[in-house]
Structure 1
Amino acid sequence: MTMSENTRLGARIRAYRNMRHMTVRALATQAGASASFISQLERGQTSSSVGMLRRIASALGLTIADLFSEEDDVGHRVVRRAQRPELPTGPGARKFLISQRPLQNMEMYAGEFEPGSSTGDEPYTHGDAQEIFLVLRGRITLWLGPAGSAAAHVLEQGDSVEYRTSVPHRVVNENDETAEVLWVVSPPTPSA
């Protein structure tokens, strides 16, 4: 890569890191690199191996292709309901990505939970961002906190709750009708 290409790549990495409110040290830790290396890379003063770029992209919740995309101004991005990417979930539950990649300032998901379904038996966490959970239809129980001491929040249509993604959470539909929900996370959290 030329010095100019290194500079553009470094600027994109810095921009995505800043969007996620990550420090250089936090990105370095998640990518398995030194903070000085990440700093030099962001300033275009060094280049990187493909393996390291993959780890950096993963830590930022991106693909390696996102790091090289020159489409900073993508304009309006329409996602049709039938074209939403579906994420793996448990039986009776479906979760769809509404935001388009590369995730920039926020990520949004829609979910459907059939009666008796959940996000899984154990609460989960992802990064440390702000998350808003909204019930669009039906009734849901959202458990917040570590297993064994989590607080149950029963939410009906139109109810919402806000919490950090670092707090263990779990969604359960204990009712007899399908529920629809929405998650909004800002800044986007790293991919698992």
Structure 2
Amino acid sequence: MDFKHLKDIRKSKNMTLATLGEKTGYTASFLSQIERGLNRPSIEALRKICDVLEIEVASLLASHNDVNHSSGIETYNGYKIFREPKETLYQPWQSSATYYHTLFNMPIHSENMIVSKIIIDAHSSSSGQLISHNLSEINYIISGEAAIDLTGEMQTLYEGDAIYLEPFTNHNVKNQTDEPLILFTLQF
């Protein structure tokens, strides 16, 4: 995944790397490395950058061509159908064997909701470290076994189990088995 177009978005908003850094909590150097394609941001870093730039995370994960990001949404009377996007598979850590497939990302009552299918390869984890963010999160285990580290407290979830995480809860989803772990994640 290439994030070089972030620079164009940032500049279109007349924002310096230093200003973006102050607002996200990341160094200008780190942000510059992302823009130059020398570093790959975590989903948490992307979320913070997108919040400041006032863009959707999905717009960065999709193709860099002029794509209508709402083209997979069908609106009807009282409901919407989201067709599977083909261009939102993202692997934030090149050395990690975790793949994020954003199913849809849309504003909900002035808030944002992100729905993803996450595949974590055997003996790997979602982020490699504890992370937290300002969103509530629900993880539903589609297949496999998840060992969820909650700042030292481990919870094991099996196929069909789910966990709700309040905003700012430190967590890391681990796959300590020999089989892939697939989970459905809702962040809102």
Class of the TM-score when normalised by the shorter of the 2 chains: 0.5 to 0.7
Which of 93, 114, 132 in structure 2 is aligned with 1:125? 132
Are 2:74 and 2:82, in contact at CA under 8 Å, matched by a contact in 1?
no
- Bigger relative contact order (CA 8 A; separation at least 6): 1
1:79 aligns with 2:83: yes
Q: Does 1:165 align with 2:167?
A: yes
Aligned residues, how many?
A: 123
- Identity among equivalent pairs (%): 16
> Secondary structure of 1:58's match?
helix
- Alignment of structure 1 residues 1-192 onto 2, 5 Å: 58-59=51-52, 62-63=55-56, 75=75, 76-80=80-84, 83-90=86-93, 91-101=96-106, 105-127=112-134, 129-145=135-151, 150-186=152-188
- Whether the 8 Å CA contact 2:84–2:103 is kept in 1: the answer is no
RMSD: 3.3
**Separation in 2 of the partners of 1:184 and 1:60?**
22
Structure 2: unaligned runs, 5 residues or longer: 1-21, 25-47, 60-69
Higher helix fraction (1 or 2) = 1
TM-score (norm 1): 0.53
Deviation of 1:92 (Å): 1.5
> Runs of at least 4 residues of structure 1 off by over 6 A?
none
* Structure 1 residue runs without a partner (length 5+): 1-28, 32-54, 187-192
TM-score norm. by structure 2 comes to 0.54
Higher strand fraction (1 or 2):
2
Q: CA deviation at 1:59?
A: 3.5
Residues 77, 100 of structure 1: 8 Å contact kept: no
